[in-house]
Amino acid sequence: MKPVLHLTWEYPPWRVGGLSDELKRTLPELASRVQTLLVVRGDKDETSEIDGMRLYKVSSSTRSCPHVLAYIHALNIDLVRGASAAIHDSRKVPIVHAHDWVSGLAGVYLKDIFRAPLLISVYSTELTRSKLLGSLLSMGIYDVERHCFDKADRLIVKEPGMREHLERQFGITPAKILEAGTADRLLEVYRVVST
């Protein structure tokens, strides 16, 4: 199977919300069964090992951003720097697995340039967080989410409720959405997109 490169803006010891601990529960187990690369925002650019994974930490190149959308655009260029190093150094095109919209753009860029299969795990969306698109900022975030979801080969959700939400609010076809809440199920998905 192809190696799997995960893109995320948080992994322990860095925590922004629940995603960090969520990944800590699944990624080490996955890493024991498939070669795993992890690209995550950190305090400096550094390559090391963590929980059986090759870790590519990238520092933020900008400190000031007018809003979260601008920050995420810039962060994804930083994530691209780490992911590109991982891919060129390993000389292999991996499966790219991005976690939520915050790292989805980097996934899209990697897919376009390297023709890498792209999976995006969706834990929440702007609509589930804000309830309605009440500002241009929310609309802008929704549009980026929709763009990333459209470009992904598969979207991964943990619960049927999110599958329904993606179908109804983003017009995603049911066949593109996979429910995978465990490492076993994720490995099945990786095998499918790897071939």
Partner 1 sequence: MRVLTMTWEYPPHIVGGLGRHVYNLSVHLASKGVDVSVLSFTDGTSSLWEVSEGVKVTRVNPYVMRYPDFVSWIQGLNMLMIERASLLGNFDLIHVHDWLTAYAGIALKHLRRCPLVATIHATELGRRKRLSNESEKHIHEVEWWLTYEAWKVICCSNYMRDEVQSNLGCPPDKISVIYNGYDPKMAPLNSSPCRRDGKTVIFVGRLVYEKGPHLLVEAANLLRERDLRFLIVGDGAMRPYLEGLAKRLKVSDRVEFLGHVDDDRLLSVYKEASVMVIPSLYEPFGIVALEAMSLGVPVVVSNTGGLDEIIRDGYEGLKFQSGSAESLAEAISRLLDDEKLRAIVVENAKARVKDFSWSKTTDETIKVYRRVLDEYGRGEWKPGVLWK
The answer to the question of residue 134 lying near partner 1 (CB under 8 A) is: no
Distance of CA 66 to the CA centre of its chain: 23
Shortest distance, position 135 Cβ to partner 1, whole Å: 7
Stretch that binds partner 1, among 7-15, 45-53, 131-139, 178-186 (CB under 8 A): 131-139
- Residue 81 contacts partner 1 per CB under 8 A: yes
Q: Dump strand ranges (E) for the chain.
A: 4-8, 36-42, 46-50, 53-59, 95-99, 118-121, 154-157, 177-179
Nearest distance from C-beta of residue 130 to partner 1, angstroms? 13
User: Considering only residues 44, 115, 129, 131, which one is a binding residue for partner 1 as defined by CB under 8 A?
Assistant: 115
Number of H helices, E strands in the chain: 7, 8
63 touches partner 1 by CB under 8 A:
yes
Within 1-60, the residues that bind partner 1 by CB under 8 A are none
Site for partner 1 (CB under 8 A): which residue of 43, 46, 89, 188? 89
Q: Which of 30, 105, 156, 157 binds partner 1 (CB under 8 A)?
A: 105
Query: Which C-beta is closer to partner 1: that of 58 or that of 186?
Result: 58
Of the candidates 17, 139, 160, 184, which one interacts with partner 1 according to CB under 8 A? 139
Q: Number of C-alpha atoms within 13 angstroms, CB side, residue 45?
A: 11
DSSP symbols for 34-79: S-EEEEEEESS-EEEEETTEEEEEEE-S-S--SSHHHHHHHHHHHH
Total residues at interface with partner 1 (CB under 8 A): 39
Please tell me what DSSP assigns to residue 91: T
Stretch that binds partner 1, among 7-15, 61-69, 152-160, 166-174 (CB under 8 A): 61-69
